[in-house]
């Protein structure tokens, strides 16, 4: 595109690529999510099945061990370390290395690369039999974040500013954090049907969403056309945007945020509903649940935006090769003009506080079927579909499991899954002796690790907990 590439411009391009690379690496390596292990849905006396279906009651009362009652950590996504790290001449390098073929690398990248971060940490939990059924009380904290990175993002990073069009409009992220107090109850309607519900009182800490509604870079042989439309909204107590004046354009833009202190910034309600039905077919039980039906009303909504669509058309694609030219503009002069044109496109304007907003929770649907084998009633097969409903960040998982309870104090599961984030292998071991329960399992067992112990796949998890039975 440029007739002349100077050292200064070359360094700028390297900085752009480094920024893109660090963004990708931070998303693909550090994204972790915690949630109830789906591998335990059909496991006898797995203590926290009620959090996946509130109609499922435990056979014993329990109280949790604070901080370690239901510990979960997992990583989910369709962008893996092996997509961005390569071995060249015996050394680990990034996909930006010239030795990595661009077309082969980009063939491994999905059109939409998604990483979900969902945290639910139990602070205190208890369950007990009373009032004709099983009751639960839980106090927990929740954090949710979803990130979308389009393939064009990687194409721009790998190929550089070539003569083509890059559409990165699907780049965005959303997150929220809140605490909840859940009160649950389940009981039998008759010998075949059991129902349950959990009412949740929610206290919001923060919510944020950013979306690139339009970002189109058309880089032709004799012109550039760049169009953007971006929006950022954040609802966090005492948050204010920091702004700075661009001396070249006279535009006041957002260059950071300032939060004096975190605190309560919203309230809401949530509801879990579930049902379990023993069918007329001997040994076959079906179940269904809808979790996190509800909303949070956030007190304030601080918005930063491009304030509509911004477009720059320019033919400043040629530059004076002589930086020391006495007559006419130098390369630096021309680049400064181009930089000033482009800078106004991505600078967000502080639109102020738009008042309170109400946002729905990310609901989850679980549908399961369990069949007790007639030749050995301590062994059953289970099929579970889990779908998390979150707009463009929606994902689903199908899981087939074999579950066994060979004695009164031990149960286990092995299972295989397939869904939005590919195939997975899961398992769970559950020990429940008098007065004590310990479980450990995984929905996504990592088979290969980097030297640093990081899974090469973006799908890995660990679930364990200690509870006291009575």
Q: What is the pLDDT of residues 117-171, one digit of tens each?
A: 777 778 899 999 999 999 999 999 888 888 888 888 788 777 766 657 778 777 8
- Inform me whether the pLDDT recorded for 328 exceeds 70: no
Of 266-275, 292-301, 326-335, least confident by mean pLDDT is: 326-335
Higher-confidence residue of 27 and 75: namely 75
CA–CA dist 237, 258 (Å, integer): 10
For residue 383, how many C-alpha atoms fall within 13 Å in the half-sphere facing its CB? 5
Please indicate, yes or no, if residue 307 is contained in any of the structural domains: yes
Of 17-21, 180-184, 194-198, least confident by mean pLDDT is: 17-21
Q: What pLDDT, on a 0 to 100 scale, did the predictor assign at position 111?
A: 83
Q: 259 vs 143, 256, 263, 354, CA distance in Å?
A: 19, 10, 10, 18
Q: For the chain, what is the domain count?
A: 1
- Inform me whether the pLDDT recorded for 68 exceeds 60: yes
Model confidence at 321, pLDDT cuts 50, 70, 90, reads very low
**Beta-bridge partners for 186:** 134, 196
**What CATH number is attached to the domain comprising 454?**
2.40.160
Please indicate, yes or no, if residue 2 is contained in any of the structural domains: no
* Angle 152-157-158 from CA coordinates, rounded to 5°: 95
CA–CA dist 410, 432 (Å, integer): 6
Distance of CA 425 to the CA centre of its chain: 20
How much is the CA Rg of the chain, to the nearest whole Å?
27
Q: Which of 160, 214, 145, 146 is nearest to 21 (CA)?
A: 160
Please indicate, yes or no, if residue 402 is contained in any of the structural domains: yes
> What is the number of other CB atoms lying within 10 angstroms of the CB of residue 428?
26
Please indicate, yes or no, if residue 338 is contained in any of the structural domains: yes
Question: What average pLDDT does the segment 369-395 reach?
Answer: 93
Report whether 97 contacts 91 (CB < 8 A).
no
Please indicate, yes or no, if residue 181 is contained in any of the structural domains: yes
CA–CA dist 196, 349 (Å, integer): 48
Using one digit for the tens of pLDDT, what is the confidence trace for 232-290? 898 988 888 888 887 766 778 887 788 877 789 999 999 999 999 999 999 999 999 99
Of 238-242, 329-333, 353-357, least confident by mean pLDDT is: 329-333
Mean per-residue pLDDT over the chain, rounded: 81
Please indicate, yes or no, if residue 227 is contained in any of the structural domains: yes
Question: What average pLDDT does the segment 59-85 reach?
Answer: 82
Please indicate, yes or no, if residue 317 is contained in any of the structural domains: yes
> What is the number of other CB atoms lying within 10 angstroms of the CB of residue 222?
9
CA–CA dist 441, 48 (Å, integer): 13
Per the structure, the complete domain to which residue 283 belongs is given by 7-469
Q: Which two tokens stand for residue 408?
A: 């009164």
| CB within 8 Å of 293: residues ≥ 6 apart | 270, 271, 272, 273, 361, 363
- Inform me whether the pLDDT recorded for 26 exceeds 80: no
Using one digit for the tens of pLDDT, what is the confidence trace for 199-240? 999 999 999 988 888 888 777 666 777 788 888 898 988 888
Please indicate, yes or no, if residue 1 is contained in any of the structural domains: no
Percent of the chain with pLDDT over 90: 40
Q: What pLDDT, on a 0 to 100 scale, did the predictor assign at position 184?
A: 97
């Amino acid at each position: 595109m440029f007739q002349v590439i100077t050292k200064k411009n070359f360094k700028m391009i390297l900085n752009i690529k480094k920024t893109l690379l660090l963004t990708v690496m931070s998303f693909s390596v550090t994204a972790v999510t915690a949630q109830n292990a789906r591998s335990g849905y059909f496991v006898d006396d797995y203590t926290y099945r009620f959090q996946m279906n509130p109609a499922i009651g435990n056979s014993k009362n329990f109280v949790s061990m604070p901080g370690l009652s239901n510990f979960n950590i997992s990583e989910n996504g369709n962008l893996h370390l092996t997509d961005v790290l390569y071995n060249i001449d015996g050394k680990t390098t990034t996909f930006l290395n010239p030795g990595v073929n661009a077309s082969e690398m980009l063939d491994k990248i999905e059109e939409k690369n998604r990483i979900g971060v969902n945290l639910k940490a139990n602070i205190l939990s208890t369950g007990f039999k009373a009032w004709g059924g099983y009751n639960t009380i839980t106090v927990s904290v929740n954090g949710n974040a979803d990130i979308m990175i389009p393939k064009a993002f990687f194409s721009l990073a790998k190929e550089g500013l070539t003569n083509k069009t890059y559409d990165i409009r699907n780049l965005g992220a959303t997150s929220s954090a809140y605490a909840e107090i859940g009160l649950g109850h389940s009981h039998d309607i008759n010998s075949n049907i059991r129902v349950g519900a959990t009412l949740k009182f929610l206290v919001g800490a923060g919510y944020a969403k950013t979306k690139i509604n339009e970002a189109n870079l058309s880089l032709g042989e004799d012109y550039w056309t760049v169009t953007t439309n971006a929006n950022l909204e954040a609802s966090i107590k005492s948050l204010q945007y920091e702004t700075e004046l661009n001396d070249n354009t006279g535009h006041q833009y957002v260059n950071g945020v300032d939060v004096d202190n975190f605190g309560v910034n919203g309230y809401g309600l949530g509801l879990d509903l579930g049902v379990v039905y023993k069918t007329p077919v001997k040994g076959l039980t079906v179940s269904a649940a809808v979790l996190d039906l509800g909303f949070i009303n956030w007190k304030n909504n601080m918005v930063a935006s491009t304030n509509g669509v911004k477009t720059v058309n320019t033919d400043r694609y040629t530059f004076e090769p002589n930086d020391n030219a006495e007559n006419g503009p130098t390369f630096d002069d021309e680049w400064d003009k181009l930089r000033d044109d482009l800078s106004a496109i991505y600078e967000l304007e502080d639109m102020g506080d738009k008042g309170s907003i109400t946002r729905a929770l990310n609901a989850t649907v679980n549908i399961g079927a369990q069949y007790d084998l007639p030749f050995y009633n301590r062994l059953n097969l289970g099929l579970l579909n889990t779908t998390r409903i979150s707009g463009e960040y929606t994902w689903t998982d199908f899981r087939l499991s074999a579950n066994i309870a060979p004695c009164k104090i031990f149960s286990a599961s092995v299972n295989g899954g397939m869904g939005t984030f590919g195939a997975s292998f899961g398992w769970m071991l559950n020990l429940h002796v008098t007065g004590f329960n310990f479980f450990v399992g995984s929905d996504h067992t990592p088979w290969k690790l980097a030297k640093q112990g990081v899974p090469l796949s973006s799908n890995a998890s660990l679930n364990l907990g200690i509870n006291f039975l009575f």
